[in-house]
């Protein structure tokens, strides 16, 4: 079956103008045939009271629900009715929480656009336009590559950001040998928006591009880093899911991509369970197409994961992976997480004590700057096939997961914080991002072992 042609949403400048016939047709389609409610099981957010250990939370996740927030003695999940019933049968009390907030302001949203009260979020077309404008403004600092396409055919891009200065990865400052120095720059990867409803992560990517562009040459810390590192920003791994989530003007709490599943009316693979490291190994994902954490038919069966994994592999030069460190941005819970997610153990094959200690040292230092909680990913619950396990286990990239604002599902809006918080909550990670860039040339310096590992 051919994927449908992606619809190009109109720019927000046109909002309020007379709807064209084409737009009216789109609106009708989007409103009249919500695939989720007709052919897929509707999901709700629930508070589950009882689970207080990681093993108990892993058992809750094994019902096929996604665990969205962890508290002492309870969790918040997204689940359909059958999954919620399975959680109940584990012996926990389950209470329906309110659905996504209504941000319509009593006005009708344009199809494939954020509701009026959240207009400062960027849909796919708006984000691409913003990025193109940044690149046009700072052409010697940043450039764009289309690294592949989503299932529905949208471009997945990587933006390269690196300065014209002559710094190297050694921290010795200007060398006068620009061509040689540029080849030696450690590379750092930022990935965003694996999960459709986590729209704040796209804003995080836009913030980084603006910050790097506007501060290069004036802010000493930014300048030094961009002259001695190559930054790669993949601002949107899941454009299809993101557009689907906002398509009707009411948020759908969608998580996965929009790939159809053979023999099932349920769409989507959880991209963060589809990476090729210990895929499906350990009860940290689901083999059921209807699950929120469906792992796909095989590692990298989701085109979006394959595209980004191929891109990461393309950064192996002369047998050496150039990318040294990474952050994958998610929402919510305000966490800095490090691998592994597939095992509760701190160390494991492929994770020595020194590796773990370096992860923890830099992780805790970043968390001290943004006020998040630092911990190993599996302290929450087991995940398998997640991006950071693959980046570390397969590519030896020091990869973190950040869970952004809000802290809990209550006050901050859960997956849908109001657009008023975008500036504050993206800038909040400025120092952590710079810290990762500063550590990227030798993560083991953080544990006093530079001489042993980085010569
Ligand atoms: O479950 C996930 O994929 C992440 N949480 S979210 O609510 N954004 O879906 C957490 C992943 C943590 N595990 C690893 N990073 N391995
Ligand atoms: Ca607003
Ligand atoms: Zn997520």
Q: Give the CATH number of the domain where residue 55 resides.
A: 3.30.70.790
> Which ligand is the nearest neighbour of the Cα of 117?
2
Residue 427 falls within a domain, yes or no? Answer: yes
Model pLDDT for residues 395-415, shown as the tens digit of each residue: 999 999 999 999 987 778 899
Is residue 265 located within the same domain as residue 399?
A: yes
353 three-state secondary structure? helix
Residue 9 falls within a domain, yes or no? Answer: no
Is residue 229 located within the same domain as residue 345?
A: yes
Is residue 304 located within the same domain as residue 207?
A: yes
pLDDT tier at 58, thresholds 50, 70, 90:
very high
What does the alpha-carbon distance between residue 399 and residue 415 come to, in Å, rounded to a whole number?
23
Is residue 177 located within the same domain as residue 79?
A: no
Domain that holds residue 43: 39-96
Radius of gyration of the chain (CA): 21
Q: What is the pLDDT of residue 13?
A: 34
* CATH code, 431: 3.40.630.10
Candidate from 34-43, 47-56, 207-216, 243-252 with smallest mean pLDDT:
34-43
User: Is 403 a known active-site residue?
Assistant: yes
Strands 398-404 and 66-71: unpaired
Is residue 52 located within the same domain as residue 159?
A: no
Model-level pTM? 0.90
Q: Which of 198, 403, 438, 450 is catalytic?
A: 403
Report the domain count for the chain: 2
pLDDT tier at 39, thresholds 50, 70, 90:
low
Q: What is the pLDDT of residue 409?
A: 73
Mutate to test the pocket of ligand 1, among 69, 326, 386 (most ligand atoms within 8 A of CB): 386
Locate the ligand 1 atom nearest the alpha carbon of residue 401 and give its number. 15
Mutate to test the pocket of ligand 1, among 71, 194, 330 (most ligand atoms within 8 A of CB): 330
pLDDT at 225 over 90: yes
Residue 204 falls within a domain, yes or no? Answer: yes
Residue 131 phi, psi dihedral angles, 5° rounding: -65, -45
Residue 27 falls within a domain, yes or no? Answer: no
Is residue 234 located within the same domain as residue 303?
A: yes
Is residue 305 located within the same domain as residue 265?
A: yes
What does the alpha-carbon distance between residue 392 and residue 362 come to, in Å, rounded to a whole number?
15
> Which ligand is the nearest neighbour of the Cα of 69?
1
Is residue 76 located within the same domain as residue 199?
A: no
Candidate from 23-32, 160-169, 371-380 with smallest mean pLDDT:
23-32
Is residue 206 located within the same domain as residue 91?
A: no
Residue 156 falls within a domain, yes or no? Answer: yes
Is residue 80 located within the same domain as residue 186?
A: no
Model pLDDT for residues 233-286, shown as the tens digit of each residue: 999 999 999 999 999 999 999 999 999 999 999 999 999 999 999 999 999 999
Is residue 86 located within the same domain as residue 137?
A: no
Is residue 79 located within the same domain as residue 179?
A: no
What does the alpha-carbon distance between residue 205 and residue 191 come to, in Å, rounded to a whole number?
8
The residues near 328 (Cβ < 8 Å, ≥ 6 apart) are: 191, 192, 194, 272, 387, 388, 391, 399, 400, 401, 402
Q: Which residues line ligand 1 (CB under 6 A)?
A: 66, 68, 195, 198, 272, 330, 337, 341, 377, 380, 383, 386, 388-389, 401, 403
Question: Closest by alpha carbon to 8, among 104, 108, 136, 110?
Answer: 110
């Amino acid at each position: 079956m051919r994927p449908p042609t992606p619809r190009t949403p109109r720019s927000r400048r046109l909002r309020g103008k007379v709807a064209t016939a084409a737009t009216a047709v789109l609106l009708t389609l989007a409103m009249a045939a919500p695939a989720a409610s007709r052919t897929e099981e509707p999901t709700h957010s629930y508070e589950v009271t009882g689970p207080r250990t990681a093993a108990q939370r892993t058992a809750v996740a094994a019902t096929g629900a996604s665990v969205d927030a962890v508290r002492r003695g309870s969790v918040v999940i997204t689940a359909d009715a059958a999954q919620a019933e399975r959680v109940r049968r584990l012996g926990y009390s389950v209470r329906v929480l309110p659905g996504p907030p209504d941000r319509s302001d009593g006005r009708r949203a344009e199809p494939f656009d954020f509701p009026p009260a959240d207009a400062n979020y960027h849909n796919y077309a708006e984000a691409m336009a913003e990025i193109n404008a940044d690149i046009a403004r700072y052409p010697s600092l940043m450039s764009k590559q289309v690294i592949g396409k989503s299932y529905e055919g949208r471009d997945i891009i990587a933006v390269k950001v690196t300065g014209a200065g002559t710094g190297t990865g050694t921290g010795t400052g200007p060398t006068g040998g620009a061509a040689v120095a540029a080849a030696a720059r450690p590379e750092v990867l930022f990935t965003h928006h694996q999960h459709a409803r986590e729209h704040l992560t796209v804003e995080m990517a836009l913030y980084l591009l603006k910050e790097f562009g506007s501060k290069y040459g004036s802010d000493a810390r930014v300048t030094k880093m961009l002259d001695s590192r190559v930054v790669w920003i993949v601002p949107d791994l899941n454009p299809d899911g993101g557009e689907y989530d906002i398509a009707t003007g009411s948020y759908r709490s969608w998580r996965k991509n929009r790939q159809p599943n053979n023999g099932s009316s349920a769409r989507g693979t959880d991209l963060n369970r589809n990476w090729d490291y210990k895929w499906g190994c350990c009860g940290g994902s689901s083999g059921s197409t209807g699950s929120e954490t469906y792992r796909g038919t095989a590692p990298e069966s989701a085109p979006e994961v394959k595209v980004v994994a191929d891109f990461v592999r393309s950064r192996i030069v002369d047998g050496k992976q150039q990318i040294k460190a990474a952050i994958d941005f998610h929402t919510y819970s305000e966490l800095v997480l490090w691998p592994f997610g597939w095992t509760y153990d701190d160390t494991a094959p492929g994770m020595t004590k020194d590796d773990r200690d370096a992860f923890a040292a830099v992780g805790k230092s970043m968390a001290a700057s943004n006020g998040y909680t630092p911990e190993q990913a599996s302290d929450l619950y087991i995940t398998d096939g997640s991006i950071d396990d693959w980046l570390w286990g397969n590519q030896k990239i020091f990869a973190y997961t950040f869970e952004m604002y809000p802290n809990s599902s209550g006050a901050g809006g859960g997956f849908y914080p109001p657009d008023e918080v975008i500036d504050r909550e993206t800038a909040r990670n400025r120092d952590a991002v710079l810290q990762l860039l500063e550590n990227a040339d030798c993560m083991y310096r953080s544990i006093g072992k530079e001489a042993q590992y980085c010569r």
